[in-house]
Structure 1
Amino acid sequence: MSDTPSGDGAAQPADLSTPPAGRVGVAIVGLGGAVATTAVAGVELMRQGAAGTDGLPLAALAPERTAALAPYESLVFGGWDLFDGDLAAAALHHKVLDAQQYDAARDALAAIAPWPAYGDDRFCQGVTGEHCHAADLGLRDVVDELRRTLRDFQSENGLDRAVVINLASTEASPDLDADVFQTAEAFEAAVDAGDDRIPPAMLYAYAAVLEGVPYGNFTPSVGADVPALVELAEARGVPLAGKDGKTGQTFLKTLMAPGLRDRALRVEGWFSTNILGNRDGEALREAGSLASKIGTKGTVLDQILGYPVEDHVVKINYYRPRGDAKEAWDNVDLVGFLGQRMQIKVNFLCKDSILAAPLVLDIARCLDLASRAGRGGVAEPMGVFFKGPMTAAGRTPEHDFGRQQTAFLAWLDGLTEDTAPADARTESSTSAPSA
């Protein structure tokens, strides 16, 4: 069984009526990937005044709504990767940044190198690397090493708080009905026994929870979204959010589908295809990883519309020449008044990492805020950021972007209102102008 965690017990809420102080560590699983290097470079460019806040969802909100969030410039990055090159080498390989951006961020990127990662090619065959923990380590040893690395990251960088974000390549899903995933006791016994049904993503999530560090899963892999780890997170007051960041094609689908529903335009079929050539696309050539990805992309439409779309087709194709420049193409077949048929065609050409990196930064800031507010367990309103939102047991995820955004903003406002001193709340309510 695990030893006493540094994060044991529910966190005591802080006063969130004023901006936070201190440095926040963002420990990323898959630090050398395109999304992670873009996020790190983006923060460095913001520090230099060489980048604005376009694309950052929370930067578009009124300042009073976001004052309690950690500033972007307070984020400090570290993390694990199966490839050992520094982030300058990684960013040069991924070719997301333009030449001027790369030159400006290069020194900061070169100063960061990933820690050895834990991988298992039974769950992710498309991506392999040699910068990894010894193959003969038991699962408990791996978890202990991940925890030690998190502690060292915080102490060596003088961090006040930290979060863990999973940006690793997509893993095949285990059998989620297995008994080892149903209770904390069964899961911990399985870790001690070296149970080979436990995928790497779960071990990172487990280590974060034991350390009292919030965990966000930006991938379709199964991380903390099993009853056993939710139980542990609730008991220890650790916020969780995920899974699979909603960035491009699915984001547009969750914007379009509610409008079609509300205008009673019946969706007869929706064909979605993607081509991309980055490391994520390479991993998705493996059947198990692809099934995990399509599972999160394919569930949104029926829930929004309220009826099954029999001809809802989702395809993802690896096409190396595109690199990070993804193309997402949709054809929607509609039936309108008098049974007349119509079509919508959308062609979204985008940089995958340019869409994803800002969400990663805001997810990290929100998880940090939830932790400071003492909100452990699943942060369900953060589902606005994800294709497969985590929910409380038995609840159906909401996918309608407008409804998600409304719930998220209410949650964000509630965090600061619930933890502000009583006199501050009273002053705020009495000073508001009358209608």
Structure 2
Amino acid sequence: MQYAYPETFDLKFKLQKEPKSIGVMMVGWGGNNGTTFTASLLANQGNITWEDPRGGTKAPNWLGSLTQCSTAYLGIGGDGKEVYIPWNGLVPLVDVNKIKVGGWDISKMNMADATARAHVLDIDLQRKLRPLMEPMVPLPSVYDPKFVASNQNDRANNVLKGSKSENLEKIIYDIVEFRKNENLDLVIVVWTANTERCCEIMPGIHDTAENLFKAIYEDHPEISPSTLFAIAAIKAQCPFINGSPQNTLVPGCIDFAEKNGIFVAGDDFKSGQTKLKSVLVDFLVGAGLKPMSIMSYNHLGNNDGKNLSAPEQFRSKEVKLLMKPYQSLYFIGLDLGDSKRAMDEYISEIMLGGHNTIVIHNVCEDSLLATPLILDLVVLTEFFGRLRIGSTSKTASHLHSALSILGYFLKAPVGMPGAPVVNALAKQRSALENLLRACVGLGPVNHMHLEHRVQIPEFASCVTSL
């Protein structure tokens, strides 16, 4: 007979309190997410208000952001009630009003015109932001027609020439210049460009950092633009976040990140439909029900929908979304601006052969949901760069380079090789909150509330004293 025994480890958490000055460089800066993120930063930094077409005056905010608008459980207050504190009040996080932004795009359209093209923001806000955004012009980007839909050709007027290795060196140069010109401690590179088709992973090409570099300098056709950007970021000592579903972070890329101690995170921003799935499936399984089928209909607008109308690009999205054998996905691309429509049907088996069906219809502005996630990914990536964990202060090290702790914001979180993937949203959020609590000496949250459930004299005197 085998027995299980508990083991206890003492860990020390060491945090550099002062946040770094940071900048964000976005690949696909002129797209819906890039323009919305930039406009949101500028509006919040300048406290720019605008007239709401439905009446009244609107002020900027970061609704949807955990770090800026959500709270963490602190403990029991003097009145016996629970006390909560904003995440950015629990631990020292970067001041988002000091974040600088730049980036690349295959279109040379300035950011004011690109924002107008995106049809996300109210016209009055666009008008007030135009003087700030018009001077912003994306740097030339990598364009490989083999990896994106052919309907993107009409945008490609701002592309880098030359070989893959030449493109790599130019991207590194751009990052270094941006960091120097903006006087920044750290630059974080975010892929928010179009979904690519997945590259074909090949032994001897994508498996190690050495082979990956060799393939880049040999101009191998299965090295994707997104992987080039990831490698360039790591080589420039910058974290890289992949916000699209393709397999950017190939094994050789993660190997290179590990060897350099640089964070990478991905894949695919988790803004709406997938986030809801990770809540509902967790609920169904946790309630002792048996999910039998999940049918999803996804109606995307904007250029993302246009690009994903091509089968190979849609396949990248399909691969990352269909993580369970009982799921099916249907997709239609039709330009409805930034509006996104999703319909899900969840069928579960219940007792004695019965069935329970839940149908959900979700309509949202996709970029306004994704933008706060991008902010959180950037803010927390910087924060975890200042954190060290170990059995002693001398042996403490940072989190693994594949930053799976950010899985709350990503549909298919990349983690340490061999580590289990956690998809339940509540568990992902709890992991983040408890790690932040540990940084200030607070234990993990358990929500047992035994002091209110068991009549024990010690508990009674404790609650009374509160």
Q: Provide the TM-score with structure 1 as the length reference.
A: 0.86
Give the one of 149, 159, 170 matched to 1:132.
159
Cα distance change, pair 73–205 in 1 and its aligned pair in 2 (3 A): same
| Partner in structure 2 of residue 109 of structure 1 | 133
| Partner in structure 1 of residue 402 of structure 2 | 378
Per-residue deviation at 1:191? 1.1
Question: How far does the alpha carbon of each residue in 1:170-209 deviate from its partner, in whole angstroms, 9 at most, with x for none?
Answer: 0111122432111111111111111111010000000000
Report the Cα distance in structure 2 between the residues aligned to 1:377 and 1:283, rounded to whole angstroms: 31
Report the Cα distance in structure 1 between the residues aligned to 2:204 and 2:416, rounded to whole angstroms: 19
| Partner in structure 2 of residue 293 of structure 1 | 317
| Partner in structure 1 of residue 46 of structure 2 | 48
SS at match of 2:314: helix
Given that 1:238 and 1:375 are in contact with CA atoms closer than 8 Å, whether structure 2 keeps it comes out as: no
Pairing 1:215–2:213 present: no
Report the Cα distance in structure 2 between the residues aligned to 1:267 and 1:110, rounded to whole angstroms: 50
SS at match of 1:127: helix
Report the Cα distance in structure 2 between the residues aligned to 1:285 and 1:67, rounded to whole angstroms: 43
Per-residue deviation at 1:252? 0.6
Give the one of 278, 290, 309 matched to 1:254.
278
Given that 2:292 and 2:349 are in contact with CA atoms closer than 8 Å, whether structure 1 keeps it comes out as: yes
Letter in 2 for 1:170: T
| Partner in structure 2 of residue 143 of structure 1 | 168
| Partner in structure 1 of residue 145 of structure 2 | 121
| Partner in structure 2 of residue 316 of structure 1 | 331
Question: How far does the alpha carbon of each residue in 1:104-132 deviate from its partner, in whole angstroms, 9 at most, with x for none?
Answer: 32222212110000010101124231210
Pairing 1:20–2:19 present: yes
- Map residues 304-383 of structure 1 onto 2, 5 A cutoff: 308-309=325-326, 312-320=327-335, 322-373=336-387, 374-375=398-399, 377-383=401-407
Report the Cα distance in structure 1 between the residues aligned to 2:427 and 2:223, rounded to whole angstroms: 34
Letter in 1 for 2:304: D
Q: Which moved more, 1:330-339 or 1:187-196?
A: 330-339
Letter in 1 for 2:186: R
- Map residues 235-274 of structure 1 onto 2, 5 A cutoff: 235-274=259-298
Report the Cα distance in structure 1 between the residues aligned to 2:127 and 2:176, rounded to whole angstroms: 32
Report the Cα distance in structure 2 between the residues aligned to 1:91 and 1:197, rounded to whole angstroms: 32
Report the Cα distance in structure 2 between the residues aligned to 1:53 and 1:171, rounded to whole angstroms: 29
Pairing 1:171–2:207 present: no
| Partner in structure 2 of residue 86 of structure 1 | 110
Per-residue deviation at 1:66? 5.1
Report the Cα distance in structure 2 between the residues aligned to 1:376 and 1:31, rounded to whole angstroms: 28
Letter in 2 for 1:316: F
Between the aligned residues of both structures, percent identity stands at 26
Pairing 1:194–2:194 present: no
Letter in 1 for 2:27: V
Question: How far does the alpha carbon of each residue in 1:207-228 deviate from its partner, in whole angstroms, 9 at most, with x for none?
Answer: 00000001101111222x2221
Letter in 1 for 2:296: S
Given that 1:16 and 1:68 are in contact with CA atoms closer than 8 Å, whether structure 2 keeps it comes out as: no
Letter in 1 for 2:340: K
Q: Which moved more, 1:275-284 or 1:28-37?
A: 275-284
Report the Cα distance in structure 1 between the residues aligned to 2:362 and 2:331, rounded to whole angstroms: 14
Letter in 1 for 2:104: W
Which structure has the highest helix share of the two? 1
Per-residue deviation at 1:102? 1.5
| Partner in structure 2 of residue 39 of structure 1 | 37
Cα distance change, pair 106–122 in 1 and its aligned pair in 2 (3 A): same
Per-residue deviation at 1:100? 2.6
Given that 2:265 and 2:406 are in contact with CA atoms closer than 8 Å, whether structure 1 keeps it comes out as: yes
Report the Cα distance in structure 2 between the residues aligned to 1:336 and 1:369, rounded to whole angstroms: 44
| Partner in structure 1 of residue 452 of structure 2 | none
Cα distance change, pair 147–94 in 1 and its aligned pair in 2 (3 A): same
Q: Which moved more, 1:104-113 or 1:231-240?
A: 104-113
SS at match of 1:345: strand
Q: Provide the TM-score with structure 2 as the length reference.
A: 0.80
Question: How far does the alpha carbon of each residue in 1:68-103 deviate from its partner, in whole angstroms, 9 at most, with x for none?
Answer: 221111111100000001111001011100123222
Cα distance change, pair 118–241 in 1 and its aligned pair in 2 (3 A): same
Pairing 1:203–2:238 present: no
Question: How far does the alpha carbon of each residue in 1:377-408 deviate from its partner, in whole angstroms, 9 at most, with x for none?
Answer: 11111111111100111223211111111122
Given that 1:87 and 1:112 are in contact with CA atoms closer than 8 Å, whether structure 2 keeps it comes out as: yes
Report the Cα distance in structure 2 between the residues aligned to 1:38 and 1:252, rounded to whole angstroms: 23
Question: How far does the alpha carbon of each residue in 1:297-346 deviate from its partner, in whole angstroms, 9 at most, with x for none?
Answer: 111xx3xxxxx42xx211121012x1210000111222222222221110
SS at match of 1:381: helix
| Partner in structure 1 of residue 392 of structure 2 | none
Structure with larger Rg? 2
Given that 1:240 and 1:376 are in contact with CA atoms closer than 8 Å, whether structure 2 keeps it comes out as: no
Bigger RCO of structures 1 and 2 (CA < 8 A, at least 6 apart): 1
Report the Cα distance in structure 2 between the residues aligned to 1:243 and 1:412, rounded to whole angstroms: 23
Per-residue deviation at 1:167? 0.2
Report the Cα distance in structure 1 between the residues aligned to 2:362 and 2:267, rounded to whole angstroms: 22
SS at match of 1:46: helix
